Structure 1
Amino acid sequence: MLKLIKNAEVWSPEYLGQQDVLIADGRIAAINTDIDLNSQSVDVQVIDATGLWLMPGFVDPLAHFNGGGGEGGFHTRTPDMPITDAFSAGITTMVSGLGTDASTRSLMDMLAKACALENEGLSTFCYTGSYEYPIKTISGSVRDDLILIDKFIGVGEVAIADKRGSQITPHELARLAADAKVGGLLSGKSGIVFLHVGDEPSMLSVAEHACADFDVTANQFYPTHINRHRQLMESAVQFAQQGAVLDLTTSTTPELLAAGEIAAADALGELLELGVDENHISFSTDCNASLPDFDKAGKLRGLKVGRAQSLLESVQQALAKGIPTTKVLKAAGTNAADRLKLPRKGHIAVGADADILLMNQEDQSITYVIAKGKMVVELGKPLKFGEFQGS
């Protein structure tokens, strides 16, 4: 069935004004001020979007489809992500990584979960590897994983400045970036190295030295958790000016905020004020990862789970702070899609995938979510559930 969305205020993420949007075969077929399909022979679902913003579905560059963590023992391994978590938050595209644990969790299990979520309507991709170095892969090499396995688009999240990482050297990181770059070139993928940045004083220095001392550039790296503390955020400005996209984590806890973490919406505003290009900032949820709280001696005090809903909440908070809508939407999806070379994601344009979020202008609540042309949230209620979720 065709879908025709009428009278929406369209953000592409740039503002396009009031438009009608036609969806056919999972793609955006037309955008015009007045699309009329007044024919008895055309089966079309018409959605009146008066009073609604129409925007690209959110793109999350870091999730953990098959859970993560376990820093408090086996009983603290976090659960798999149900598909309703993504759709209810307006997320239509997600990229998964393994994170800390590549021993009791595997790339193959993550890949299977990604395929399951794809079958249920979510657009999914993955990073090969994990926190640790040497990198664990499926094929035996990062390059071959990117070339031969369709869903793998980069490597990550590789840990730096973190006691849980493998203390990778600049030379090792440069070799990894070069290998990922070639794999990306040969497969038409981003070949990005997605970096987990911990809270140690070294911050981004390993990546900075890799760029200074070897033939790799900052835009080959995609560092996340940049809002972990203000010193890290301010030190990352120059790295962004050299070409890196800075990723802000939307999932947080009161304990992490009390320890100095900056809420993603606040960090977005501060980075923009510090002169970071609006095209070089993104949001990610880190959903279904563990959010551990360590004391100064490294002892675990508690652990919570990252939430997909935090991305929507951060968008709402950023809009409430008066950050321009286009800049917020770029952070919520467009910039990640562009950096990860997902050309049909993150934009409202003819030929783009019909991943569409319709939001109430008054309170920024979700009214409809369309994923690959199919309605998955209607009037704020989820329509699509996982195989074993029920409804």
Structure 2
Amino acid sequence: MLTLVYGGELYSPNYLGKKDVLITQDKIQDISDNINVQSDALQKIDATDKYVVPGFLDGHVHITGGGGEGGFSTRTPEINFSDLTTAGITTVIGCLGTDGTTRSMKDLIAKARSLTEEGLTAYILSGSYRVPITTLTGDVQDDIVLIPEVLGVGEIAVSDHRAFLPTLSELKKLAAEVRVGSMLSGKKGVINVHMGDGKRLFKDINQLIDETEIPAFHFVVTHGNRTGEIFEEGLEFIKKGGFLDLTTSTVKKFLESGEVKCSKALRYFHENELSFDNITFSSDGQGSLPNFDENGNYLGLKVGGVSSLFREVKEAVLDEKVPFEKALSVITKNPAKAFGLENKGEIDKGKAGDLVLLDNNSLEIDTVISKGKVLIKDKQLLVKGTFE
């Protein structure tokens, strides 16, 4: 199977000018000013007046659903294949959340494999909010070494009224298991931390990094924009080499109570000439956005949407005047680096044939190609999930 995308302006996410891209099977074979290929198996996609960008990577999606903080009826549903593709997402990382009881690791790995069979690339993280964490094999290190889809652990909750109050010693042991497991498996090894707005904030994570030999680059701290205080501490955290992940799904109350809107956070980085390298966006898709009162009593919830991922990038560009290639990096190159996915997040020879075509004025998603297969073309959904 050969796919030629021609006539578009290429962002790798760095701007490369007007280029053609040739995909063979599931990988990029060539990038050139004018590719001339003759084959009966060739399909051509005209990218004139389009931006050609890498497929988006969402590093935090509750692919089997989440929630449950208000009882069984508040368990959010699992994600549909086309929810991801219409949002431009070609690579997704699934995780559990608050509920590690009625949501299982077996369900998580099965859902990830189904999304991969249907045409995306899906990985998972072992565990949930709970420490000690729930695994597939019974051992953190074994999960990372023996199961290809497992990239690390998460979403481990700290500084939150729903956290299982992990001790510093437990966190150190967990980080060490991830570190060794990553070395044995050739993976990067990720410790995805849910940062709540409690009193301790980054204290335990910073102390762990300062007191051990565990490199900070293993840590991806999510919900880094939930409050201004978290965001400010997160700016110091990335100086250590960790990754600060900003959540794009939100509700009005979060914004009114001090949450930093993702698009405005990027403007802050741009205006202050800060490096974008260790900043990522994720959607928290299908996760619950619960509302609690000041005493921790449940009041209600909404459901996070993966469509928010690119929406915040688009707003950063169109409304906040952040350079396109900088904004694009937080859902392409940066999360690929954060999770150690070397063949993802950039348009380059030998990398995955994952592309998104955007209208160059409105930045609306026009075409989505995943592993060389066209899933959406001219805004028309060509491939649906098995039961959609």
| Paired position in structure 1 for 2:27 | 27
Q: How many residues align?
A: 387
Letter in 2 for 1:343: E
Query: Secondary structure at 1:332's aligned position in 2?
Result: coil
Kept in 2, the 8 Å contact 1:171–1:214? The answer is: no
Q: Write the deviation string for residues 58-98 of structure 1: whole angstroms up to 9, x where unpaired.
A: 00111011000101110000000001010000000000110
| Correspondence 1:6 to 2:16 | no
| Paired position in structure 1 for 2:60 | 62
Measured after TM superposition, the shift of residue 217 of structure 1 is: 2.8
| Paired position in structure 2 for 1:180 | 178
| Correspondence 1:330 to 2:338 | no
> 2:272 and 2:126 mapped to 1: Cα distance?
33
Is there any run of 5+ residues in structure 1 with no aligned partner, and where?
A: none
> 1:354 and 1:264 mapped to 2: Cα distance?
28
Measured after TM superposition, the shift of residue 43 of structure 1 is: 2.7
Q: Write the deviation string for residues 189-245 of structure 1: whole angstroms up to 9, x where unpaired.
A: 121100000111211111011112222232221100000011110111111011011
> 1:327 and 1:302 mapped to 2: Cα distance?
36
Pairwise mapping of residues 346-365 of structure 1 onto structure 2 (< 5 A)? 346-365=345-364
Pairwise mapping of residues 193-212 of structure 1 onto structure 2 (< 5 A)? 193-212=191-210
Kept in 2, the 8 Å contact 1:237–1:276? The answer is: no
> 1:310 and 1:360 mapped to 2: Cα distance?
18
> 2:174 and 2:284 mapped to 1: Cα distance?
23
Identity in percent: 41
Aligned CA-pair RMSD: 1.1
Letter in 1 for 2:16: L
| Paired position in structure 2 for 1:214 | 212
Kept in 1, the 8 Å contact 2:231–2:260? The answer is: no
Match of residue 287, structure 1, among 285, 288, 295: 285
> 2:381 and 2:17 mapped to 1: Cα distance?
28
| Correspondence 1:367 to 2:351 | no
> What TM-score, normalized by structure 1, do the two folds share?
0.97
Measured after TM superposition, the shift of residue 276 of structure 1 is: 4.2
Pairwise mapping of residues 127-276 of structure 1 onto structure 2 (< 5 A)? 127-273=125-271, 276=274
> 1:363 and 1:374 mapped to 2: Cα distance?
24
Kept in 2, the 8 Å contact 1:283–1:333? The answer is: no
> 1:324 and 1:201 mapped to 2: Cα distance?
35
> 1:111 and 1:81 mapped to 2: Cα distance?
14
Bigger mean CA offset, 304-313 vs 376-385: 376-385
> 1:258 and 1:343 mapped to 2: Cα distance?
38
Query: Secondary structure at 2:210's aligned position in 1?
Result: helix
Is there any run of 5+ residues in structure 2 with no aligned partner, and where?
A: none
Q: Write the deviation string for residues 27-81 of structure 1: whole angstroms up to 9, x where unpaired.
A: 11100001112x3x54311111111000000001110110001011100000000
Kept in 2, the 8 Å contact 1:266–1:318? The answer is: yes
Measured after TM superposition, the shift of residue 268 of structure 1 is: 2.2
